[in-house]
Amino acid sequence: MTLLENAPLAERLADKRGPWVKVAGLVDDGTFTPLFDDDDSGFLSGVGSIDGSQVVVFASDASVQGGAMGTDGCRHIVGAYEKALALSVPIIGLWHSGGARLREGVESLDAVGTVFAVMTRASGKIPQLSVVLGPAAGGAAYGPALTDIVILGPGGRVFVTGPEVVRSVTGEDVDMLKLGGPDAHGRRSGVVHVTTDSDDEAYGVARSLVSLLSQVGTADLASIVDGDLAACLPDTPKRAYDVHPIIDGLLDEGTSIELHPKWAPNIVTTLGRLAGQTVGVIANNPMRLGGCLDSTSAEKSARFVRMCDAFGVPLVVIVDVPGYLPGVGQEWDGVVRRGAKLLHAFAEAVVPRVTLITRKAYGGAYIAMNSKSLGATKVFAWPGAEVAVMGAVAAVRILHRKKLAEVPDGQRAEVEEQLAEEHERIAGGLDRAMELGVVDAVITPMVTKRALATAIAGVAARGDHGNIPL
Can you give the CATH number for the domain in which 296 is found? Answer: 3.90.226.10
Question: What pLDDT does residue 470 have?
Answer: 29
Residue, of 245 and 389, whose pLDDT is higher: 245
Residues 145 and 269 both lie in one domain: no
Catalytic residue, chosen from 25, 48, 138, 181, is 138
What confidence tens digit (pLDDT) does each residue in 362-397 have? 988 999 999 999 999 999 999 989 888 655 556 556
- 419: in domain: no
- 289: in domain: yes
Residues 198 and 265 both lie in one domain: no
What confidence tens digit (pLDDT) does each residue in 180-199 have? 999 999 999 999 999 999 99
Closest CA to 203 of 151, 255, 156, 257: 151
Last residue of a domain, one of 190, 210, 230: 210
Residues 146 and 71 both lie in one domain: yes
Domain that holds residue 53: 10-210
Given a contact cutoff of 8 angstroms between Cβ atoms, the answer to whether 157 and 134 are in contact is yes
pLDDT higher than threshold 80 for residue 91: yes
Q: What is the mean pLDDT of residues 264-277?
A: 97
Residue 184 annotated to the active site: no
What confidence category does residue 417 fall into, taking pLDDT thresholds of 50, 70 and 90?
confident
Question: What pLDDT does residue 466 have?
Answer: 37
- 466: in domain: no
Question: What pLDDT does residue 88 have?
Answer: 97
What confidence tens digit (pLDDT) does each residue in 295-311 have? 999 999 999 999 999 99
Catalytic residue, chosen from 227, 276, 363, 364, is 364
Residue 376 annotated to the active site: no
Question: What pLDDT does residue 9 have?
Answer: 43
The rounded percent of the chain whose pLDDT value lies above 70 is 88
Catalytic residue, chosen from 100, 140, 365, 433, is 365
Residues 106 and 131 both lie in one domain: yes
- 315: in domain: yes
Q: How many CB atoms lie within 10 A of CB 328?
A: 7
Residues 61 and 193 both lie in one domain: yes
Residues 300 and 363 both lie in one domain: yes
pLDDT higher than threshold 80 for residue 261: yes
Residue 453 annotated to the active site: no
Residues 355 and 292 both lie in one domain: yes
Given a contact cutoff of 8 angstroms between Cβ atoms, the answer to whether 237 and 261 are in contact is no
- 414: in domain: no
Q: What is the mean pLDDT of residues 401-408?
A: 71
Q: What is the mean pLDDT of residues 47-71?
A: 94
Q: What is the mean pLDDT of residues 312-317?
A: 98
Q: Is 253 exposed, middle or buried (0-12, 13-18, 19+ CB in 10 A)?
A: exposed
Stretch among 60-74, 279-293, 314-328, 406-420 having the lowest mean pLDDT: 406-420
Residues 193 and 296 both lie in one domain: no
Catalytic residue, chosen from 48, 70, 139, 162, is 139
Measured between alpha carbons, how far is 271 from 278 in angstroms, rounded to an integer?
Answer: 7
What confidence tens digit (pLDDT) does each residue in 451-464 have? 999 999 988 544 44
Residue 361 annotated to the active site: no
Q: What is the mean pLDDT of residues 103-115?
A: 94
Q: What is the mean pLDDT of residues 103-116?
A: 94
Residues 255 and 370 both lie in one domain: yes
What confidence tens digit (pLDDT) does each residue in 201-226 have? 999 999 999 999 999 999 999 999 98
Last residue of a domain, one of 153, 185, 210: 210
Q: Is 260 exposed, middle or buried (0-12, 13-18, 19+ CB in 10 A)?
A: buried
Question: In the chain, how many domains are there?
Answer: 2
Residues 261 and 372 both lie in one domain: yes
Last residue of a domain, one of 176, 210, 244: 210
